[in-house]
Amino acid sequence: MPPATSAPILVVQSAEASAADAAAIADLCGSQTPEQTSEHAWRLRGTQRRERVAAWCETRRLDHAWIPEGRRFADLKLLAMDMDSTLITIECIDELGGYLNIKDQISAITSQAMRGEIDFPESLRKRVALLAGLSEEVLQDVYDEKLRLSPGAQQLVERCKHHGVALLLVSGGFTFFTERLKERLGLDETLSNVLEIEDGKLTGRVLGGIVDAGAKAAKLRQLARRLGAKPEQTVAIGDGANDLKMMAEAGISVAYRAKPVVRAQATHSLSYSGLDGVLQLFDHGKIAG
């Protein structure tokens, strides 16, 4: 039997969303009884009023999304994501700067680049130059001591593997980290920058071309073409301005704890949920089952 309505489904979630929140939003928008789909996520059908939902959710630090009926995670073929501040919680280059007591200086440049205020390749060259002379051993220290997966990352990766969705990690960061994450998580492909190292120390230069916004988008296009994936079968997740071209290539784009310029252009935005919140952006996308 076809669904009773083709109206969009409202998804409400956050790391701390409660049944009381779901009941309140149902009353606000005049929907059917909320359907709980994970510990902190609800799906509402048959909504009558939409105009106050966004402001209400933002005030209560809830993510909300309007999703089409019948869009299934199992139908995807490719999921691409950024690394720093997306798959992982840190900006690796900022943490490297901490070993030279210039983390704040590098972080300020990183933030400008992520907001789209300065050219990404220029910003990367400037930041990497500040790392000249740093021991390559520090790279391993950052990986071991600082690098942590974002909340929900493991669940998202596992769901992709369960459904045979190819995983692409594209980063303006460095191969030292992307290759280790590829092996650790069983990712299909990665693309990132190569730090030049001589005599055990960073030279302050990047080898080859820089992975910028255009390179990220091109990699997604290339892999989607190889997989025979239609746009609606692709998802891209990012947080900074250098992810926007890649996100525009995907049929579904998710701004994850992202800068305003990215949230404004993405299909969906997750500011208060973990990466497993991506699963809730699909009908029948329960965490379990």
Residue positions annotated with a catalytic role: 82, 84
Q: Following DSSP, what letter does each residue of the chain receive, concatenated?
A: ---S--SPEEEEE-TT--HHHHHHHHHHHT-SPPEEEETTEEEE-S----TTHHHHHHHTT-EEEEE-TT--GGG--EEEE-IIIIIBSS-HHHHHHHTTT-HHHHHHHHHHHHTTSS-HHHHHHHHHHTTTT-BTHHHHHHHHHT--BPTTHHHHHHHHHHHT-EEEEEEEEEHHHHHHHHHHHT-SEEEEEEEEEETTEEEEEEESS---HHHHHHHHHHHHHHHT--GGGEEEEE-SGGGHHHHHHSSEEEEES--HHHHTTSSEEESSS-GGGGGGGSTT--S--
